[in-house]
Amino acid sequence: MVPRFAAEPPHEHLPSGRWALKLQQVFIEACAAIEPDDGAEMGQIGEIAWFPDRTWHGRSYIPAVASTSNGLEVFGYIAHTQNAEGDQDLTAVADVTAQTAADNPDWTIDLCEEVVGSWRGETDSVAAMTLVWGRPLGGEAKIAVAELAGLCVDQCELVDDRFTLLAPDDYRSDTLEIACFDGGGREVARESLYEDDDSE
């Protein structure tokens, strides 16, 4: 027993115009508070790539990724809610990594993830409700799917070669895998959210 398709499908186009500028300001402010682990300079943030929105428990999540001038990558999301008067409460979460797709040619999907909540199941087992976003690296992918123990728990059509999923992870020792399929249902890419022990 586990939640499937808990999040609403994307409702909006990828951010553009004034909305994108507003989100950009909030995201860059969150990035400014990041302190890289090794003390390295993060560098200047480049163009932000926005990903499809997903809504869960009344809160919409818009993920983002951008490269920096020092070869790092910032990633995160903006969560927002809207009250009855139409005012929006925007909250940004951001982090930085030196692990990029350019340095990992064995990757088939470039993935980012953040836990945004939890779900308590049977025998007090808890699933980490996880926002996952990314893009396949090659292939003609049309659909991205999140699988937990072989069970499809979320899916999303790609928009401009980007997808966003929101699914339970780390539940009863099972962890998420992300797969991408082409228009004919053929699998073209698959990645786990976790590195193999041999590669750590």
* pLDDT, tens only, 109-156: 999 999 999 999 988 899 999 999 999 998 789 999 999 999 999 999
Decide: helix, strand or coil at residue 102. helix
Separation between Cα atoms, residue 176 and residue 100, nearest integer Å: 20
- Check if the beta carbon of residue 169 is closer than 8 Å to that of residue 127: yes
* pLDDT, tens only, 21-33: 999 999 999 999 9
37 — alpha (psi -120 to 50), left (phi > 0) or beta? alpha
* pLDDT, tens only, 76-97: 999 998 766 665 789 999 999 9
Average of per-residue pLDDT values in the chain: 91
Q: What is the pLDDT of residue 196?
A: 60
Is the pLDDT reported for residue 197 higher than 60? Answer: no
- Check if the beta carbon of residue 77 is closer than 8 Å to that of residue 93: yes
